[in-house]
């Protein structure tokens, strides 16, 4: 249970949150027409006769969109409904050419499922938590009104009309902004793993309707909820909840009541305002779309969908811990994003191949490199780094040199810097730039002997029990070797000679 509370004048309040996430289905063509779905085209250039709702035009279902919705449902271990149906949601608006949106009210394609948000102490999520997902249904997107093109008229862009969306409806299982944020991030990761949505919130590929209500801690009754529409980033979702929860508590404590209504989020101020109240709510007059037959899914189709599913975040994370021996932290960080694990797995395979070792043997080294060393170097270079040079081959070559003791950790960073700036080969850089450490026992032994000879008093103190001085001898030896001695060899020799 989240400990998120609104401290009101009359006591503590808790928040109940449900999210309806609209995710644009990755497909080349729209849900019921052959028009393209590419983002950013000139207005009204991706509009078919069907999208423009010309007289006599009919929708024909795009099977790829169905496939993606089913795969998504499978990824959240939801019930897949072999029988589903499309309904018309009727209302008039200039961005809705048909005068209705084709959606699925009565028989959605995906039923009950869930996802797990991960424990995150810093965010106030003490343990993993399962968030119920009530349903996923498929529906059409609407177009876009443009009010800034003409002093007295509004323009309509129909490019988005008919683009396929999944509406993913959660249970009201979240109790803090952090949980809601974690839910959206996890859902986004799953969609991107599955490849059913690119999750690009800036381009509107994913947006959330945020349902918020408050109640006194321990009250079993749910409060009246508001729905804030089309919130398009994780941060805004969290801000919406923070603002709405506080607003509702203030309202109730001032003697008012929360009105069930639709609200809008203003990213500029971080506040929400009324869009329309329940009294103005549309009567959508849903009924089954007579232009479309019920959608019936066969076993073969379902089997194909299941077989095409990749390893999903939770499974991957568990495997990273159990098979690769990574820490829970590393496993979580590496599996949070598709790009992160993809880069990691490529580098892991390449490093193991070069070293002639199993992946498990090099997994931790590669994980540390991929999560902290490499991004650190990259970030420090800023615009000087060319991402094209950040190849798995180059990085694996560096890791191989380091594992073999030929270079130190510091040298690895320096070499990677040069790689990112120039694209030169790591082995060549190590040679040419003198970025190699000395593992030759003879040279190091000579340096060790000199350090011991030059510091008889310290030797005496060390031998008298002042263990901390060992670091001093290591430092002196490394200094004498201009930092290029293999620290392990230095340690061994010093220990042997100091006794």
Partner 1 sequence: MTDLTQLGIKPLRDGVAAGEFTAREVAEAFNAAVADASALNAFIVTTPDHALDAASKVDADRAAGKALGPMAGVPIGMKDLFCTQGVQTTAASHILEGFVPRYESTVSQKLWDAGAGMLGKLNLDQFAMGSSNETSHFGNVSSPWRRTGTNAPMSPGGSSGGSSAAVAARIAPAATGTDTGGSIRQPAAFTGICGIKPTYGRCSRWGVVAFASSLDQAGPMARSVEDCAIMLGAMAGFDPKDATSLKMDVPDWAAGLDGNLAGKTIGIPREYRMEGTDAAILDSWERGKQWLRDAGATIVDISLPHTKYALPAYYIIAPAEASSNLARYDGVRYGLRDLPDGAGLQDMYAETREAGFGDEVKRRILIGTYVLSAGFYDAYYTQAQKVRALVARDFEQAFAQCDLILAPTTPTASFPLGENSEDPLAMYLNDVFAVPASLAGLPAMSVPAMQNEGGLPLGLQLVGRPFDEQGVLNAGLAIEQRAGFSAQPDKWWC
Binding site for partner 1 (CB under 8 A): 49, 52-61, 88, 90, 92-94, 97-100, 154, 156, 283, 285-287, 290-293
Shortest gap between Cβ of 10 and partner 1 (angstroms)?
Answer: 36
Tell me whether residue 284 or residue 389 sits nearer to partner 1 (CB atom): 284
Shortest gap between Cβ of 158 and partner 1 (angstroms)?
Answer: 8
Tell me whether residue 251 or residue 292 sits nearer to partner 1 (CB atom): 292
* 79 to 72, 308, 312: CA distances (angstroms): 11, 17, 17
Tell me whether residue 283 or residue 339 sits nearer to partner 1 (CB atom): 283
Phi-psi region of 457 (alpha: psi -120 to 50; beta: other; left: phi over 0): alpha
- Helix axis angle, 177-194 relative to 63-75, nearest 10°? 130
Tell me whether residue 291 or residue 428 sits nearer to partner 1 (CB atom): 291
Tell me whether residue 27 or residue 62 sits nearer to partner 1 (CB atom): 62
Shortest gap between Cβ of 22 and partner 1 (angstroms)?
Answer: 22
Tell me whether residue 153 or residue 307 sits nearer to partner 1 (CB atom): 153
Tell me whether residue 102 or residue 312 sits nearer to partner 1 (CB atom): 102
CA 253/CA 443 separation, integer angstroms:
78
Q: Note the residue count of the chain.
A: 499
Nearest residue to 211 via CA among 406, 21, 413, 376: 21
Tell me whether residue 32 or residue 416 sits nearer to partner 1 (CB atom): 32
Shortest gap between Cβ of 104 and partner 1 (angstroms)?
Answer: 15
Q: What is the 3-state secondary structure (H, E, C) of the chain?
A: CCCCCEEECCEEEEEEEEEEEEEECCCCECCCCCCECCCCCCCCCCCCCCCCCCCCCCCCCCHHHHHHHHHHHHHCCCCECCEECCEEEECCCCCCCCCEEEECCCCCCECCEEEEECCEHHHCECCCEEEEEEEEEEEECCCEEECCCCCCCCEEECCCCCCEEEEEEECCCECCHHHHHHHHHHHHHHHHHHCCCCCCCCCCCEEEEEEEEEEECCCCCCCCCEEEEEECCHHHHHHHHHHHHHHHHHHHHCCCCCCCEEEEEECCCCEEEEEEEHHHCCCCCCEECCCCCCEECCHHHHHHHHHCCCCCHHHHHHHHHHCCCCCHHHHHHHHCCHHHHHHHHHHHHHHHHHHCCCHHHHHHHHHHHHHHHHHHHHHHHHHHCCHHHCCHHHHHHHHHHHHCCCCCHHHHHHHHHHHHHHCCCHHHHHHHCCCCCECCHHHHHHHHHHHHHHCHHHHHHHHCCCHHHHHHHHHHHHHHCCCCECHHHHHHHHHHHHC
Q: What pairing do the DSSP bridges indicate for beta strands 87-90 and 100-103?
A: antiparallel
Shortest gap between Cβ of 96 and partner 1 (angstroms)?
Answer: 9
Shortest gap between Cβ of 285 and partner 1 (angstroms)?
Answer: 4
Shortest gap between Cβ of 295 and partner 1 (angstroms)?
Answer: 10
Tell me whether residue 56 or residue 356 sits nearer to partner 1 (CB atom): 56
Tell me whether residue 94 or residue 222 sits nearer to partner 1 (CB atom): 94
Shortest gap between Cβ of 88 and partner 1 (angstroms)?
Answer: 5
Tell me whether residue 158 or residue 406 sits nearer to partner 1 (CB atom): 158
Shortest gap between Cβ of 154 and partner 1 (angstroms)?
Answer: 8
Shortest gap between Cβ of 268 and partner 1 (angstroms)?
Answer: 26
**In the structure encoding, which two tokens stand for residue 89, read together?**
């949601």
Shortest gap between Cβ of 230 and partner 1 (angstroms)?
Answer: 19
Tell me whether residue 58 or residue 488 sits nearer to partner 1 (CB atom): 58
Shortest gap between Cβ of 91 and partner 1 (angstroms)?
Answer: 9
Nearest residue to 476 via CA among 497, 309, 465: 497
């Amino acid at each position: 249970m989240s400990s998120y509370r609104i401290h009101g004048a009359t006591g503590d309040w808790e928040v109940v949150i449900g999210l309806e996430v609209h995710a644009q289905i990755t497909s080349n063509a729209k849900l019921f027409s052959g028009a393209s779905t590419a983002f950013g085209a000139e207005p009204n250039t991706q509009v078919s006769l069907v999208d423009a709702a010309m007289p006599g035009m009919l929708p024909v279902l795009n099977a790829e969109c169905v496939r993606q919705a089913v795969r998504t449902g499978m990824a959240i271990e939801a019930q897949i409904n072999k029988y589903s149906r499309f309904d018309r949601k009727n209302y008039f608006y200039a961005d809705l050419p048909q005068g209705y949106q084709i959606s699925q009210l009565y028989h959605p394609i995906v039923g009950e499922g869930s996802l797990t948000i991960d424990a995150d102490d810093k965010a106030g999520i003490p343990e993993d938590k399962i968030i119920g997902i009530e349903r996923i249904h498929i529906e059409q997107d609407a177009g876009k009104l443009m009010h800034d093109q003409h002093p007295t008229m509004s323009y309509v862009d129909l490019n988005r009309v008919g683009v396929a969306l999944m509406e993913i409806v959660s249970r009201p299982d979240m109790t803090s902004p952090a949980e809601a944020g974690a839910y959206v991030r996890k859902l986004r990761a799953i969609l991107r793993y599955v490849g059913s949505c690119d999750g690009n919130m800036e381009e509107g590929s994913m947006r959330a309707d945020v349902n918020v209500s408050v109640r006194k801690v321990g009250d079993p009754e749910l409060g009246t909820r508001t729905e804030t529409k089309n919130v398009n980033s994780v941060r805004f979702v969290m801000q919406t909840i923070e603002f709405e929860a506080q607003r509702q508590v203030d309202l109730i404590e001032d003697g008012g009541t929360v009105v069930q209504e639709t609200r809008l989020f203003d990213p500029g101020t971080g506040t929400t305002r009324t869009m329309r109240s329940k009294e103005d709510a549309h009567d959508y007059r849903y009924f089954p779309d007579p232009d479309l037959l019920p959608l019936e899914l066969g076993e073969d189709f379902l089997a194909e969908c299941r077989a095409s599913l990749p390893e999903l975040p939770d499974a991957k994370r568990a495997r990273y811990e159990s098979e690769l021996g990574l820490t829970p932290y590393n496993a979580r960080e590496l599996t949070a994003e598709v790009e992160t694990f993809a880069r990691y797995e490529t580098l892991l395979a390449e490093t193991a191949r070069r070293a002639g070792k199993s992946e498990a043997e090099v997994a931790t080294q590669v994980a540390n490199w991929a999560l902290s060393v490499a991004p650190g170097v990259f970030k420090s270079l800023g615009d000087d780094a060319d991402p094209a040079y950040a190849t798995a081959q180059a990085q694996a070559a560096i890791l191989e040199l380091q594992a073999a003791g030929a270079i130190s950790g510091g040298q690895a960073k320096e070499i990677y810097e040069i790689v990112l700036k120039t694209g030169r080969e790591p082995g060549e850089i190590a040679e040419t730039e003198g970025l190699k450490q000395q593992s030759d026992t003879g040279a190091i032994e000579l340096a060790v002997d000199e350090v011991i000879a030059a510091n008889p008093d310290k030797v005496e103190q060390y031998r008298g029990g002042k263990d901390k001085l060992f670091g001093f001898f290591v430092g002196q030896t490394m200094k004498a070797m201009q930092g290029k001695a293999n620290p392990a060899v230095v340690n061994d020799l010093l220990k042997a000679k100091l006794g």
